[in-house]
Structures are given as C-alpha cells and as structure tokens.
Amino acid sequence: MGKTFFLTGTDTDAGKTVVACGLLEAARRNNLKTLALKPISAGCQPTVAGLRNDDALALMEAMTGELAYEQVNPVSTEPPIAPHIALEQSGRRVTIDRLAGYCRGALMHRSDFALIEGAGGWRVPVNSREMLSDLPKALGTPVILVVGMKLGCLNHARLTVEAILHDGLKLAGWVANCVQPEMAVYKENLETLKQLIPAPCLGEVPYLENPAKDTVADYLDVSALC
C-alpha cells in the first residue's frame, strides 16, 4: 500500500497546488505511481461537464494515475469564497465523514504516493461544527505544510505547526515556497523556520513566473517522504 499525505498551507495563497504538482512530478521521477485529490474546492468555473476547479485540473495533469474529475474533486463551489459559506448559499451541506468516504473510495485505486490537497489554511470550516483539519484526522494521514515565504510567515507557520501537532497528526515535512519576487532577510527567515519546524524541509521553491511542475520538482526532494 502506498503512502498518502494531506497537504496544507500557511494561508490561501501559500502555493499548495504549485508545490503539490511539483511533489507529484518528483515522485514520478522516482518511478512512483501517484494520485492526487482536491476533496473540496471554491472558485470553480462552469463548463458543459459541470463545475471545474483549476487546482484540481492541475493535480489531474500532474499525477500518473487516472481518476474521473468527480473523484478528484467531489465537492465544488463556484464563488471564490470560503467553501462552507458558498455551500450554505447554495443550500448544500457537507460533512467530514462524507469527504473521508470520497477520499477512501478514490484512494482504493493503487498508487505509491498520494496527496490530498486542502483548501486555504489548516482551520478552514467545512460546516458550522467541523473544519477541514478534521479530514486528515479522520483518515489518519501525515501532513505536509507549504509555507508561503513572506512577511508574517514565521507566525503563520508556527501556529499551523502547533495546531497540526495538537491534533495528534504527524508533520511529515514542509516546503518553503517564495510567493513574492523578493523577501527581506529571506535566508534569516528560512533558518528560523528550520529551527521552529520539527520536520524535514523538503525543499525551497524560488519565485517563478511560470511555476510548471517540471521546474518546481527540480527544487524538491521526496526521499524523506518515501
């Protein structure tokens, strides 16, 4: 049985999908069969086939396995807002049990390396009582954290790490992803993060105008995960 990880970020624009696609490509280069899921998404585009999310489509293009779109992204909403609000506005409701069921079904397809990408940060609500962070708890999956390198990332990263560990989950690794062309005292911030985060750094992704998975993978090392 392959390994499955839940991928989260320090914020909405931390670059989860960019890093996820890079990790999938890095795993493929190691001859691993890969799968990726985006259980819940917002900001989807209407198409003839139904709502489609750019992040979910990018994951489908990056993974080696083949799944129907509805298996990769079973819950989608059109407005680019918090998913639980978008669901409420459309008269829908989703639970962690349901999301976990979707994930388990999709993960029955054989893979060596699978990623479940979250939405937003760690404590994004799914409904009035549950948060998306309850999903990796239900599935028992270790977590990969994407740190969006910008002013404030030290606080965001530390709080997220504390929450992950408080939830009883293993932090398998983290990635420093540069979301701005330049960041003041970048090296000092990176070294501080390495001291603050009790998990291996899987790589540093520089600011890229075109963050294609092939390029991103060059900066990542999945050996600590595999």
Looking at residue 222, the DSSP 8-state letter turns out to be: -
For residue 176, the surrounding DSSP H or E stretch is strand 171-178
Taking Cα atoms as reference points, which of 161, 111, 116 lies closest to residue 140?
116
Distance CA 121, CA 101 (A): 22
Question: What is the rounded distance in angstroms from the CA atom of residue 190 to the CA atom of residue 183?
Answer: 11
Measure the CA–CA gap between 83 and 35, rounded to whole angstroms: 23
Which of 38, 137, 187, 213 is flagged as catalytic? 38
Distance from C-alpha of 45 to C-alpha of 51, rounded to nearest angstrom: 5
Active site annotation includes 3: no
* Angle in degrees, CA 97, 100, 104, rounded to 5: 135
Residue 177 has φ and ψ, to the nearest 5°, of -115, 115
3-state secondary structure 52-110: ECHHHHHHHHHCCCCCCHHHHCCEECCCCCCHHHHHHHCCCCCCHHHHHHHHHHHCCCC
Identity at 184, one-letter amino acid code: A
User: Active-site residues: which are they?
Assistant: 38
